[in-house]
Amino acid sequence: MKKKTGLLLFELREGFIIALQSIVANKARSFLTMLGIVIGISSVVSMSTAIKGIDASFQKGISALGTDVLYIDKWAWFSNTEWWKMRNRRKITMEQYEKYKQTAQLPMAVAPVSNARKKVVYNENSVESVNINGSNADYVKTTNFTFALGRFYNDIEAKGARDVAVIGSELANKLFPRGDALDKTIKIGGFGYKIVGVLTEQGSFILGDFNPDNQVFVPIGTVFKHFASETFRSITINVRARTPALVEETKIEAEGLMRKIRSISPGIENDFSVNQQEGLMTNYNSVVGVIQVAGLFITSLSLFVGAIGIMNIMFVSVKERTREIGVRKAIGAKRRTILAQFLLESSTICLMGGFVGLLVAILLSYVVDRFLPTSIQASAVFIAIGISLITGVVAGLAPAYTAAKMDPVDALRYE
Amino acid sequence: MNENIINIEHISKVYTVGDVKVHALYDVSLRIDSTEYVAIMGPSGSGKSTLMNMLGCLDTPSGGKYDFKTRNVSLMTDNELAEIRNREIGFVFQTFNLLSRSNALHNVELPLIYAGVPSAERKERANQALISVGLGDRVHHKPNELSGGQRQRVAIARALVTNPAIILADEPTGNLDSKTGEEIMLLFHEINQKGNTIILVTHEEYIAQHAARVIRVRDGLVERDEAIVNRYIPGISKPESAVK
């Protein structure tokens, strides 16, 4: 038994040496064949890391928003309700917010929110169409905000509708590249606001209005005062549950209370929506799922093309070396020796291609990292090597088998 | 006492080409003992090549019995045939059949690789074999850096390196000029003198006359099997007919 494994190792080693010699002897051909695998492996690895990167930063961002927060809104974020139906809903008012806040038992914090979209200017620096988030001092309790500078506006400032603002980190970087934002006065839609706080980075890959890094937080009264009349605007009520486990109960309570507050008769459907991140997550997951499947499918196609290339070359190589196979058989090579020789050749080409492909993918990830935080996982390395090895064996199998079962007499006679 | 190596009894070989059965060998019986120097002669289509393939264990007979050192070849599996070719038979081909991308040493080493001989011993034995055919200074040359005669010497070294029971040479001088051919025949003579058994397949009467015994094949049958009384011994007896 021991002797047998020893012999197998011996044959593997010799086969590997023969394979290497053959690869080196046909440099141009080996390189071109390898190229297919290089492209295949690098695209598969890049794709999977890109997807992982998007996923990771989205998860991070979404948890910064808080998964235990409910948003009572006139609009449903994710639903099949027709847009015009929702448009005709009654607005949610500050008065309803007050009533809800007084009666609700389960929330940890409740805050009214009214948004505006304005240009924000400080000296020569400006950012167009920034989400201006108007609320009260309780708002900060509905978030996990941490502060790089200063603080959130307080109750007195909120009630007095003072022109004070808290800005997100990205916005702060754009307006105050030197980091001296505190106590400066910025212009929001032409109105001066004094900065009392700057947030630390919350989530780098949440798009649009969900990204707190790119927002301004001001007392809600100032939004009504400067940008939109309270009488026309529907507000959103942000509700944070005491614990994530209580989210569902808090939601049920909110629906009940809001129906009562808005005097909706039994049997009539809600004319408001209690939105949740979960909806966002579900939506996001289904989108990413599609991207993942489609992306990996398309990139796998290129790997598949590479594998066909290998198979093709191996068939040519076997045909070309028919006589050599005949000689090897005549002087004592067994079927499995020939089989191993060609399998080793194709898997060596694929493995080399896999390593190069991995290198290309790593280089690519450094470039991509500038736009999207990615990192090549250790698992990707093993997967890439594994896939290329399997590709080599699978692509080499048919040609190697053809070589192995050749009749030595015919092979020697082959011209 | 010379031991028997090859014992063939009434072997036949039938190929099926389309629907037609072709008798390449009809009924052949022969014995070859160790240290013999035998030439197999016959015109093309005589079944000479088929017989050579049988003797070389490259092919198995359709009927009859072939014993190689008392082992029945007719019943052997592909792997067993490969092993017997590896250990007991040294092939020398008309077209040399060297691996063009490998140097002389590696070419000679090859059968030892398949025999599972460790690298250091392999190199040593291959080197010795190359020295014995007079190529001690061409070890690292590739076939395309060698002359035809030198290539055939590498092939002979490769055949000798495993110490096989027989050397089976198929038209070994067919691709060489007559002077080089003569040198190769001298080498075969020396190898035979050292006690190696040689089977030479040729269609040239003159080459066949170097052997001690000639088996003439025609139409799938052994036509004549006779000892050569007046053999050509290269370098010693050089008859008139040798000068073409």
Q: What is the per-residue pLDDT across A112-134, written as a single tens digit (0 to 9) for each?
A: 999 888 999 999 999 988 999 99
Chain A closest-CA separation from residue B35 CA (Å): 21
Q: Which of B81, B84, B97 to mutate to test the interface with A (most CBs of A within 10 A)?
A: B97
| A125: nearest Cα among A167, A168, A171, A166 | A171
Residue A330 is predicted with a pLDDT of 94
CB contacts of B158 in chain A (<8 Å) are: 331
CB pairs under 8 A between A and B: 61
Cβ pair A411, A323 in contact under 8 A: yes
Q: Which of A11, A22, A331 sits opposite B86 (nearest CB)?
A: A331
Chain A closest-CA separation from residue B241 CA (Å): 32
As a whole number of Å, the CA-based R_g of chain A is 33
Residue B244 is predicted with a pLDDT of 41
- The contacts of residue B13 (CB under 8 Å, 6+ apart) are B23, B24, B25, B47, B50, B54, B59, B61, B62
Average pLDDT along chain B, 244 residues, taken 10 residues at a time: 87 88 90 94 88 92 92 91 95 92 92 90 95 94 94 96 94 92 93 94 91 93 90 68 44
Instruction: For residue A156, count CB atoms less than 10 angstroms from its CB and return exposed for 0-12, middle for 13-18, buried for 19 or more.
Output: exposed
Residues of chain A with pLDDT under 50: 1
Residue A82 is predicted with a pLDDT of 78
Q: Do B86 and A332 touch (CB under 8 A)?
A: yes
Residue A66 is predicted with a pLDDT of 65
**What are the structure tokens assigned to B55, written together?**
């003797």
ipTM: 0.92
User: In chain B, what are the domains?
Assistant: 36-57+87-242 (3.40.50.300)
According to DSSP, the β-strands at B4-17 and B63-68 are: antiparallel
